[in-house]
Amino acid sequence: MATASKNPHLPFGDQQTAPWYGKDILSVKQFSRMDLDHIFEVAHEMRAMVERVGAFDLLKGKILANLFYEPSTRTSSSFMAAMQRLGGAVIPISEVRYSSVAKGESLPDTVRTLACYSDVVVLRHPEVGSAALAAKHCDKPVINAGDGVGEHPTQALLDTFTIHEELGRLDSLVVTMLGDLKYGRTVHSLARLLGQFDNTDLHYVSPESLRMPREIIDEIAHGGAAQTEHTSLDDIIADTDVLYVTRVQRERFEDDSAYDRVKDAFVITPDVLAAAKEHMIVMHPLPRLTEISLECDQDPRAAYFRQMEYGMYVRMALLALVLGKA
Ligand code: CP
């Protein structure tokens, strides 16, 4: 990883030589394929332990500050569950309007404060680059839980873990990302991560106004991955191994009429899935609105609820790694 290690004064029992110890997690660009293998191995162990004993004391005595400036259900609660299942404690700040942020306190001062009381800070913030800014001012590891339309690296890690668990590989796949590819930070991070794998083709299906940003396509093309843009799913659904659906995010639009024009551009129904392979998966970072109909939920290919559970194991692994306990 690119960042320097934090926590120079190591408490007894922490593994200072662990490669992830004290590191910030800000972008998927920090992760190589070998890193993913290691994270997945630890996430597997976490899953086995949770299934066996529910909770255990690996991070007993450690505290997570969970700082969310934007709404969240999954990321916020799965980080809390992850820390608690590892025996640690959580400072939850999900309503920043009740914190000193409401008095005008800056992000650097807020994270400096939380670093005094905790061992790791998880941050969601509406501005691109906010996690990097926080990390600069924080002497404890900062984990980016979504910075505006920028990145959502832990989501991409849990997404790749889901694909690996469900389909057994990350190479030689046809991955189709559908919906809001312009503002969807989850697809920005996931495409970057999957772009590293051999023979994995990326297809982007979106309305014209919500295309994958050019700079991300160019960056991934530099690594050699095949990418194709479409305005219809019809051409590609039969070949797709992973259909990654995203919500059109009203909160990212300044103009309601622009949102209304594209909000129902794609809806996955049982009829759409009838044209898909028998052995493929449908994913969604959630929350969903209308883009996947409820009738699809019973289809065994619908992996989006299993995906949420995989997320907790990956976040347990990440907390243990940056705190030197895995
Ligand atoms: N997938 C995801 O980030 O969900 P939340 O917004 O509920 O955290």
How far is it, in rounded angstroms, from Cα 286 to Cα 247? 8
Provide the token pair at 191.
Answer: 């495409």
Q: How many whole angstroms from 13 Cα to the centroid of ligand 1?
A: 33
Spatial contact of 263 and 197, defined as CB atoms under 8 Å apart = no
Query: Does residue 75 line the site of ligand 1, with CB under 6 A?
Result: yes
Q: Which residues fall within 8 angstroms of residue 24, CB to CB, at 6 or more apart?
A: 1, 3, 6, 131, 135, 141, 142, 143, 144
pLDDT at 202: 98
Peptide bond before residue 287 is cis, with ω within 30 degrees of 0? yes
How far is it, in rounded angstroms, from Cα 5 to Cα 20? 8
pLDDT at 13: 54
Measured CA angle at 228 (ends 260, 204), to 5 deg: 30
The protein residue whose alpha carbon is closest to atom 4 in ligand 1 is 74
Which atom in ligand 1 lies closest to the alpha carbon of residue 75? 8
How far is it, in rounded angstroms, from Cα 73 to Cα 279? 29
Domain boundaries, the chain: 12-152+311-322, 153-308
Pocket test for ligand 1, best of 67, 75, 123, 288 (most atoms within 8 A of CB): 75
pLDDT at 250: 76
Report, at the CATH architecture level, how domain 12-152+311-322 is classified.
3-Layer(aba) Sandwich (3.40)
Which atom in ligand 1 lies closest to the alpha carbon of residue 71? 6
Which atom in ligand 1 lies closest to the alpha carbon of residue 124? 8
pLDDT at 177: 98
How far is it, in rounded angstroms, from Cα 223 to Cα 253? 31
pLDDT at 99: 81
Report, at the CATH architecture level, how domain 153-308 is classified.
3-Layer(aba) Sandwich (3.40)
pLDDT along the chain (326 residues), means of 10: 56 64 95 94 97 97 96 97 98 85 91 97 96 97 95 96 97 96 92 93 94 95 93 96 91 76 87 98 95 97 98 98 93
Q: How many whole angstroms from 115 Cα to the centroid of ligand 1?
A: 24
Residue 123 main-chain phi, psi, to 5 deg: -130, 130
User: Would you say the CATH fold of 153-308 matches that of 12-152+311-322?
Assistant: yes
Which atom in ligand 1 lies closest to the alpha carbon of residue 146? 3
pLDDT at 18: 73
